[in-house]
C-alpha cells in the first residue's frame, strides 16, 4: 500500500457501542448499502448533489455546441443547464428544444440517463421506507438483583408499536477476553442462557433474565477492571407490516447496577393494563 494512502475506516454500531473496522473496502464499492444506511437529510443531500452534477455536465455540453438547442443563447451555460433539467425530468416546456441531430443525440442520452436516475431513486426511496424499523426500546441500565430468590442479571425492554410483535426471540451475551498460553489474547461474544429466550407475543414489556452462578465468569468480569460489554439483541415479526423488527442495545460496566431491581411499569387500572414507558429505566436499590 502506498505510504500516502490511508486505510479506510468504517464505523460500526453494536447496539450503542461504537467500534471501527480499518482496512475495509471503500463505501463506494457498495453504494446501495451506503445509501441505505444514510440518514434522510444525508440521502436527500446526496441525491440533490447527483442531480445538480448531471445537469451541470449536460448543461456544459449543450453550451459547447451553439445551435444544438433552439431558442438558447449561444454558449449560454444557464440556458443549457435549465434545458438539461427539463430534459432529465422529461418535462419539456417547449420553449427550448433540440434543433439539430447533435442536439437530439445529446438529449436522447440524457433522457436515457434520466430514466435510470428516476428509477433508481424511486427504488431507493421505497426500500428506505420498507426496511425494518426498530420498534423496541431498551432500559438504559441492566440490573443484578433477585429473581425468585436467586441472583440474576436482568435487562428490560418494551415494544413501542400499537400492534404486538409475534414470535419474538432474544439473546444476551457479553464480550469475554480469553488469554492464550502463548501470551496472545482474543475476545469473543459468549451467549448467556436465559430463563425465557422466546416470547410468542410481545405487547407490553419483557425482562430478560439470566441466573447467575456463584462462580459466574460474567460477575467476575463485571467486578474486574478489564473492558466490559453486555449486549442484548431482540427480533420479532411485526403483526401489522408483516416485516421483521430488530433491536439491540449494549451496556458498559457503569450501566450495570448491582443489588438493584426494576420498578414496576405495568399497572392494572379498572381491569385495563397500562404500560408506562417513562418508568422503563427506573430502578430501586435492594435492601441489604
pLDDT of residue 288: 56
pLDDT of residue 30: 79
pLDDT of residue 1: 45
| CATH 3.40.1360.10 holds for 38-130 | no
In whole angstroms, give the CA distance from residue 105 to residue 99: 11
| CATH 2.60.40.1400 holds for 136-285 | yes
Gyration radius of the chain over CA positions: 29
In whole angstroms, give the CA distance from residue 169 to residue 96: 61
- pLDDT of the chain, 288 residues: tens digit per residue: 455 556 667 666 655 556 666 766 776 777 888 898 889 999 999 999 999 999 999 999 999 999 999 999 999 999 999 999 999 998 888 889 999 999 999 999 999 999 999 999 999 999 998 877 778 999 999 999 999 999 999 999 999 888 899 999 999 999 888 778 887 888 888 999 999 999 999 988 999 999 999 888 999 899 888 889 999 999 999 888 888 888 899 999 999 999 999 999 999 888 888 989 999 999 999 875
In whole angstroms, give the CA distance from residue 234 to residue 196: 12
Domain with CATH 1.10.287.70 in the chain: 38-130
Q: Cell 453486555 maps to which residue?
A: 230
Domain with CATH 2.60.40.1400 in the chain: 136-285
pLDDT of residue 50: 96
pTM value is 0.73
Closest-CA residue to 135 (of 277, 283, 279): 277
pLDDT of residue 243: 83
In whole angstroms, give the CA distance from residue 48 to residue 42: 10
- The secondary structure of the chain, three-state, reads CCCCCCCCEEEEEECCEEEEEECCCCHHHHHHHHHHHCCHHHHHHHHHHHHHHHHHHHHHHHHHCCCCEECCCCCCHHHHHHHHHHHHCCCCCCCCEECCHHHHHHHHHHHHHHHHHHHHHHHHHHHHHHCCCCCEEECCCEEEEEECCEEEEEEEEEECCCCCEEEEEEEEEEEEEEECCCCCEEEEEEEECCCCCEEEEECCEEEEEEECCCCCHHHHHHHCCCCCCEEEEEEEEECCCCCEEEEEEEECHHHEEECEEECCCEEEECCEEEECHHHCCCEEECCC
Amino acid at each position: 500500500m502506498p505510504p500516502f494512502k490511508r486505510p479506510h475506516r468504517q464505523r460500526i454500531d453494536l447496539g450503542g457501542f461504537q467500534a471501527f473496522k480499518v482496512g475495509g473496502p471503500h463505501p463506494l464499492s457498495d453504494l446501495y448499502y451506503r445509501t441505505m444506511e444514510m440518514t434522510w437529510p444525508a440521502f436527500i443531500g446526496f441525491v440533490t448533489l447527483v442531480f445538480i452534477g448531471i445537469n451541470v455536465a449536460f448543461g456544459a455540453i449543450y453550451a459547447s455546441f451553439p445551435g444544438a438547442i433552439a431558442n438558447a443563447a449561444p454558449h449560454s451555460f444557464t440556458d443549457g443547464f435549465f434545458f438539461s433539467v427539463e430534459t432529465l425530468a422529461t418535462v419539456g416546456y417547449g420553449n427550448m428544444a433540440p434543433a439539430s441531430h447533435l442536439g437530439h443525440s445529446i438529449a436522447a442520452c440524457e433522457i436515457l440517463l434520466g430514466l435510470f436516475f428516476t428509477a433508481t431513486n424511486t427504488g431507493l426511496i421505497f426500500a428506505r421506507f420498507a426496511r425494518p424499523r426498530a420498534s423496541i426500546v431498551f432500559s438504559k441500565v441492566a440490573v443484578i438483583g433477585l429473581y425468585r430468590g436467586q441472583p440474576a442479571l436482568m435487562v428490560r425492554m418494551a415494544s413501542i408499536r400499537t400492534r404486538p410483535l409475534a414470535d419474538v426471540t432474544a439473546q444476551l451475551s457479553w464480550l469475554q477476553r480469553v488469554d492464550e498460553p502463548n501470551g496472545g489474547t482474543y475476545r469473543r461474544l459468549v451467549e448467556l442462557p436465559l430463563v425465557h429466550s422466546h416470547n410468542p407475543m410481545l405487547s407490553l414489556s419483557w425482562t430478560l433474565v439470566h441466573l447467575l452462578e456463584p462462580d459466574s465468569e460474567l460477575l467476575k468480569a463485571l467486578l474486574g477492571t478489564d473492558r466490559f460489554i453486555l449486549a442484548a439483541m431482540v427480533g420479532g415479526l411485526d403483526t401489522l407490516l408483516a416485516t421483521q423488527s430488530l433491536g439491540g442495545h449494549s451496556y458498559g460496566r457503569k450501566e450495570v447496577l448491582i443489588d438493584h431491581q426494576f420498578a414496576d411499569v405495568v399497572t392494572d387500572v379498572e381491569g385495563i393494563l397500562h404500560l408506562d414507558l417513562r418508568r422503563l429505566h427506573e430502578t430501586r436499590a435492594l435492601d441489604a
